[in-house]
Amino acid sequence: MYSLRSTAMLALLASLSFGAVIDTEGLPDTGLNTTSWVPGQAPPLEDIFNLHDMQLAAKNTMSKSGYGEHGCIDALNDSHPNVCVSKAYYRTGALDETTYHANLDVWKNIKLKARAFRNVANISTDQPFFITSAGWAGLSDPTNGELNFVRAAAKAGILYTSSIASNKTTAEIGAAAVNNQTLFRQLYPWSNTTRLQNDLKEIEAAGFKAIFLTIDNPTEDGIRTRARREDAPDSSNTHMQNFDLTTLSALQNQTSVTIIPKGISNWQDAALLHSLGFPACYISNHGGRLIDGQQTAAEILLDLRKNAPQFLDDGKMEIYADGGVRHGSDVIKLLALGARAVGLGRSPMFANIWGEAGVDKLISILSTELSTEMKLIGVTSLSQINSTVVNAKILEDWLE
């Protein structure tokens, strides 16, 4: 009898072991059923209804190739032969991950102010969001990597910015552009000036229209505890530690490609760039991967509105922003606070477990959410999205 019961119990446990039990990390419970998911395999795309679903699917699928398991992945492409990328690369944040979570939570303190009695039968189809730079897309799709983003962005008519830390080379990504598609490239101010000059030449030769130059990390990485547990380095001396406006101007003089400073996290730096005539800047805390306890993009924009509103209103400098964007409503809130375009980094990487089809679905989900939210708050074009459609008083009080 004992033997029969034991055998039956083992059979039951074996049958249950194939279902995925996933730590949701506090993400909203939207009724997603993962019991049929097989660990290590991408679940059916029809199971996915929002970007949080995509993160959980990536966690289920990438357990051995990028979300959060121990170990390193070496030599991801010929241009980075000595790099060691932590397998917790996509998800990890700095130290206690306070900034990472703040990016996700800040939206709760920004309320949308909907208007009724508006004709919203027809709305603008322009997409104000873009796929921003995030490293090593090959961790989610080893075959096509960043090329999935190029192709999906081309179909949707949105911007794609590739990271210099890519599986595909600068030339390969540029060559994948469709019909003179607009592509930007992200770059770091390397301390090795020869490497920096070579990257600038390659980016220009490959046809990229602009460079997002990350200007706020004199160390390669912040201290990421999750990554440290997996033997990834905390920082290095590969980035300039004496980078200033003189250096920035000198770099711009070396290329015809417009350089846009990325990593602005203080309203004073944004105002400074505006006063110097820069055409654009990029507000970002890099997904909470550098400084723990840093301001979110929404807070920085509010600070800028409070202290130098003319720089947001005169139209002379475009502002890109990112950080914790998971819904169309998040996009609207950043636009209302002063951003011209809103980037997504982690979520496209998670979507990439399905390849190009996954990125297509991410864009479709966000586009549908955005158009729906626009109708619900009573606006029909992006030009109508301004500070009058949000109430951020809670954040404003904190900034006092």
Q: Annotated binding residues for glyoxylate, as ranges? A: 89, 188, 224, 286, 289
Are the C-beta atoms of residues 347 and 149 closer than 8 Å to each other? Answer: no
Please report, for residues 7, 90, 125, 307, 383, the alpha-carbon distance to residue 388 in angstroms, rounded to integers and kept in the order given.
66, 35, 21, 18, 12
- DSSP secondary structure string for all residues of 306-342: HH-HHHHHS-SSEEEEESS--SHHHHHHHHHHT-SEE
Task: Kindly state the tokens that stand for 41.
Answer: 């395999």
**Spatial contact of 130 and 325, defined as CB atoms under 8 Å apart:** no
Task: Show binding-site residues.
Answer: 89, 163, 186, 188, 214, 224, 262, 284, 286, 289, 322-326, 345-346
**Residues 338/319, Cβ–Cβ less than 8 Å:** yes
Q: Which residues contact 114 (CB under 8 A, 6 or more apart)?
A: 376, 377, 378
Instruction: Output phi, psi for 341, to 5 deg.
Output: -150, 150
Separation of alpha carbons 386 and 272, rounded Å: 23
Residues annotated catalytic, as ranges: 286
Residue given tokens 């400073």 in the structure block: 261
Q: Which residue's entry shows tokens 């290329």?
A: 255
**Residues forming the annotated binding site for FMN?**
163, 186, 214, 262, 284, 322-326, 345-346
The SS3 assignment for 106 reads: helix
Closest CA to 95 of 292, 233, 230: 292
Q: In this structure, which amino acid lies at residue 62? A: M
Cα 216 from Cα 194, distance rounded (Å): 21
Q: How many angstroms separate the first and last alpha carbons of the chain? A: 72
Give backbone dihedrals phi and psi of 112, rounded to 5 degrees, phi first.
-85, 140
CB 66 within 8 A of CB 139: yes
Cα separation values, 196 from 190, 202, 259, 265, 305, Å: 6, 10, 13, 24, 35
Angle among Cα 37, 38, 39 to the nearest 5 degrees reads 115
Round to whole Å and give the CA distance between 145 and 139. Answer: 8
